[in-house]
Amino acid sequence: MEFVVKSGAAEKQKTACLVVGVHKKTLPDSATAIDSLTGGQLSIVLKQGDLDFKPGHSLILHSAGPFERLLLLSMGDSDVPLSDAQLKKLATNLASALQSVNAREATIAIEEIIVKDQSLRWVTRQLVEAIEYGFYQFNQFKNDTGKGQGVKNARGVKKIILLADRKNADEVKAGLTVGQAIGQGRNIARTLGNLPGNICHPTYLAEEAKNLAKLHTKLTTKVLNEKQMAELGMSSLLSVSAGSDQEARLICMEYKNGKRGAKPLVLLGKGITFDTGGISLKPGANMDEMKFDMCGAASVFGVMNAIIQLDLPINVIGMVAAAENMPSGRASRPGDIVTSMSGKTIEILNTDAEGRLVLCDALTYAERYKPEAVVDIATLTGACVVALGNHTSGLLSNNDELARELLDASNEAMDRAWQLPMGEEYNRQLDSNFADMANIGGPAAGTITAACFLARFAEAYPWAHLDIAGTAWLSGKEKGASGRPVPMLVQFLLNRVS
Ligand code: BES
Ligand code: MN
Ligand code: ZN
């Protein structure tokens, strides 16, 4: 979406579609001015009651006074500020309303959208994020773009003008910059997630990372192939790709834009480009959704794109552990024992608990960056979906300060996470009769025991783990990658900079 910031009075704008906030009881200033230009038509329409005054509901008036289209956007009963959640709803609804407006551009009087305890900058950013999200389409494999899909493409605004008083223009511009970087980064993550496993395999992800480095001087990409990983002793990671004809890759995108010598933050994404479960084969129903098992990796790509766009003065290493989990005559068997790069041995009791097997070697490898902190992002456990559903990501950490920072970022970005406990009792569930540890901890507290497994490889630095199994994609009619937790992670990095 193209956005511009403009100043001037709402009622004076020459625009194909003017978006104006209204309340049930008192009209905001610009709506009052517009009302009088329409000879009171706006008031009459509002009295007729067709507009539902729940925040975010909208109604379009055509040719009212001098206005080609007036999109009346409800902000509730009276002029009480909106809550964060109401704003999010309003932004989502507005984005969808703008998709059915058959005009090239729309102008939003943004200053009158007031949210309790939030700045205009924050409101702008949320609105821009929602619009980028709402206008996203993934139709590169559809052939009917001239027909059904095409109609959807042709409609909808192409340019949005954010209208604000001159004195507030900088605030709005700042919100716009962040909102666009997050929104677009999120859409990049969605596209990688939505791509099928036959196209988006480990080598594809590695090529994407190399291409990104070609475009930006502050980024360098290094890729380890299977031979190089074998030399480093990454038998755990390689045990996952053993059954696949696709070679595994360990991808490191090094973004250096901070103080020279400043320790980097490492973001590590689980990049299982397809998870069949391996010899511990998953049931057939909905197995297609396991193409989304690289959404952690996709979020790392989204974040790298966003921080490049924002030119954040920080050092970040975006790592991706990419592999495909397949059954075959060469695949790992339940009961196999592997030695990880750290030297710790692992009994693979279930080949479907493969995410931790690729991440553990990557966590050991991350030590060479002497990181300030490491955050891994993984669609790791079905148990997390049971515990937190599809609304909240799981957060587990060996460092309370880091956990707090991530939770604060998640609240500010409205990309929710919730911390789960760890501890010795859970850790003991990983005991194995034959090796240093098993790769599963039994049916109880599956999300926690998975994190306990990872923690054993993350002792050298502050570490946090985000289990995004429930939040990384939507199922059913709206099936598709969500691009989460890009907003939370970008916010985390923004907060680190300031
Ligand atoms: N990728 C899955 C986790 C998953 C399951 C994400 C469903 C989203 C929806 C992961 O590799 C997996 O299979 N985990 C197993 C672990 C178990 C064998 C300990 C699981 O959750 O069933
Ligand atoms: Mn699995
Ligand atoms: Zn998996």
Phi-psi category of 285—alpha, beta or left, where left has phi over 0 and alpha has psi -120 to 50? beta
Q: Say whether pLDDT at 65 is over 90.
A: yes
Query: Is residue 354 in contact with ligand 1, taking CB distance under 6 Å?
Result: yes
pLDDT tens track for 340-362? 999 999 999 999 999 999 999 99
Q: Say whether pLDDT at 332 is over 50.
A: yes
Ligand 1, from 280, 324, 332, 352: best to mutate by most atoms within 8 Å of Cβ?
352
Phi-psi category of 414—alpha, beta or left, where left has phi over 0 and alpha has psi -120 to 50? left
Ligand 1, from 289, 325, 351, 381: best to mutate by most atoms within 8 Å of Cβ?
381
Q: Say whether pLDDT at 151 is over 50.
A: no
Q: Say whether pLDDT at 146 is over 60.
A: no
Ligand 1, atom 22: closest residue by C-alpha: 382
Query: Is residue 76 in contact with ligand 1, taking CB distance under 6 Å?
Result: no
Strand order in the sheet with 393-397: 219-224, 249-256, 315-325, 265-275, 373-378, 463-467, 393-397, 417-419
147: confidence class by pLDDT, cuts 50, 70, 90: low
Return the amino acid letter for 465.
H
Mean pLDDT of the chain: 96
Q: Say whether pLDDT at 423 is over 90.
A: yes
pLDDT tens track for 248-304? 999 999 999 999 999 999 999 999 999 999 999 999 999 999 999 999 999 999 999
Res 34: pLDDT:
95
Q: Say whether pLDDT at 174 is over 50.
A: yes
- Which ligand is nearest the CA of 323, by number? 3
Neighbours of ion ligand 3 (CB under 5 A): 272, 275, 293, 355
Q: Say whether pLDDT at 155 is over 90.
A: no
Ligand 3 centroid to Cα of residue 308, in Å, is 29
Res 150: pLDDT:
43
Cis peptide before 55 (omega within 30 of 0): no
DSSP 3-state of 349: coil
- Beta-strand ranges (E) seen in 10-104 are 18-22, 58-64, 67-74
H/E segment holding residue 255: strand 249-256
Q: Are strands 219-224 and 249-256 parallel, antiparallel or unpaired?
A: antiparallel
- How far is the C-alpha of 384 from the C-alpha of 89, rounded, in Å? 25
Average pLDDT in the 442-460 region? 99
75: confidence class by pLDDT, cuts 50, 70, 90: very high
343 Cβ contact list (under 8 Å, min separation 6): 233
Res 145: pLDDT:
57
Ligand 1 atom closest to residue 290's alpha carbon, by position in its atom list: 1
26: confidence class by pLDDT, cuts 50, 70, 90: confident
For residues 164 and 7, the answer to whether their CB atoms sit within 8 Å is yes
Residue 379 DSSP class? -
Q: Are strands 265-275 and 315-325 parallel, antiparallel or unpaired?
A: parallel
